[in-house]
Amino acid sequence: MGVLLPMAPLLASTSLLALTVPAAALAEVQAQSQSPAEDAWAAMRTYFYGEREIGIADAAAFSLEAPASTPDPAATSLTLRFGAQDIGQVRQLRVIIDNNPSPVASTFEFAQGARIAEIELRVRVDRWTSVRAIAETTDGQLQMRSVWVNAAGGCSAAPTAASGGALGEIRFRNTPDGRSLQVAIRHPNNSGFQIDPLSGNPIPPHYVSHIHFSASGRALLDVDTGISLSENPTLRIASDSALPEPVSVEVTDSKDAHFNASWRGPASGGETIGDAAVSAR
């Protein structure tokens, strides 16, 4: 990244760790994270990054924005931006909400050379917490940004009035210049901590687990997601130039249902090509 500390030891395999973590080990890390913020982070830091040095990035090189007091604990926007020199130089980005029951909100694996300048995601924030983003550059350095967010009840919030609709419907919204594209997925993204307010029964977890982005037929971004994303999971990516069209997304959820859709560029006015194909085992 633009302004960095001395080289940290390079561990080539680290970026694969998130995909190969045994479930039991992850559960242990996440159980520990119920304790106060610093403890939660300390355990995750060791788990994901071991003894590697993590620098605090200059805000011009890498920034994380979130509301200090969220207007909606169940749908809080986090915006991550990379400086001009760092676009195309990022390998992985992990977003951690320390005090959430499942702290790893998302892990983004960038395809080589993916020119992503900005990522916005909407997350559930359960209580007052540190939110942090750790970026790993292609040369193996780790850089972190963090913010405090005051919130209450984002993970247990009841489904909203905007819930329902056709499961897996995908909507694209772009800026006129085609550099920024929002992908919204119609999905309850039930956290497992919600209670049906009328019956009083717990709502079982049912969430988007993975989103694959490709642009012009080439892989762009792979995102491991989970219960910390908001209802109707919404991600926005922006590049420093128009995104190569078409941008296709393939969504997988925790019941192994698959949803796909493509966006064919700003001229289409955000039009989706091909209906969202839904399949479930």
The answer to whether 106 touches 234, Cβ cutoff 8 Å, is no
Min CB(270)–other proteins separation in Å: 8
- Shortest gap between Cβ of 186 and other proteins (angstroms)? 7
CB of 68 vs other proteins, minimal distance in Å: 11
Q: What tokens does 172 get?
A: 């694209």
Q: How far is the CB of 221 from other proteins (least distance, A)?
A: 17
Closest to other proteins by CB, 175 or 260: 175
With 0-12 / 13-18 / 19 or more C-beta atoms within 10 angstroms meaning exposed / middle / buried, residue 120 is: middle
Considering the complex, state which of residue 182 and residue 248 has its C-beta at the smaller distance from other proteins. 182
CB of 65 to other proteins, least distance (A): 7
Type of residue numbered 229: L
End-to-end, the C-alpha distance of the chain in Å comes to 42
Task: Count Cβ atoms below 10 Å from residue 214 Cβ, excluding itself.
Answer: 18
State which residue, 202 or 274, has the beta carbon closest to other proteins: 202
Smallest distance, Å, CB 243 to other proteins? 12
Gyration radius from the chain CA atoms: 18
Both tokens of residue 271?
């039009």
Please, which residue, 69 or 85, has the CB nearer to other proteins?
69
Q: Which is nearer to other proteins, 196 or 256 (CB)?
A: 196
Q: In the β-sheet with 54-56, what is the strand arrangement from edge to edge?
A: 54-56, 142-152, 127-137, 90-97, 104-110, 218-224, 208-215, 247-253, 257-263, 272-280
Footprint on this chain of other proteins (rule: CB under 8 A): 65, 67, 69, 71-72, 75, 77, 79, 120, 122, 152-153, 158, 160-162, 165, 171, 173-176, 180-182, 184, 186, 195, 197-198, 200, 232, 234, 236, 270
- Three-class SS state of 32: helix
* CB 51, min distance to other proteins, A: 36
Burial of 46 (0-12, 13-18, 19+ CB in 10 A): exposed
Q: 184 near 270, Cβ under 8 Å?
A: no
- Alpha-carbon distance values, 165 to 14, 83, 161 (Å): 39, 38, 11
Rounded to a whole number of angstroms, the minimum distance from the CB of residue 122 to other proteins is 7
Residue 81 or 132 with smaller CB distance to other proteins = 81
- Which residue, 182 or 189, has its beta carbon nearer to other proteins? 182
Q: Which residue, 7 or 166, has its beta carbon nearer to other proteins?
A: 166
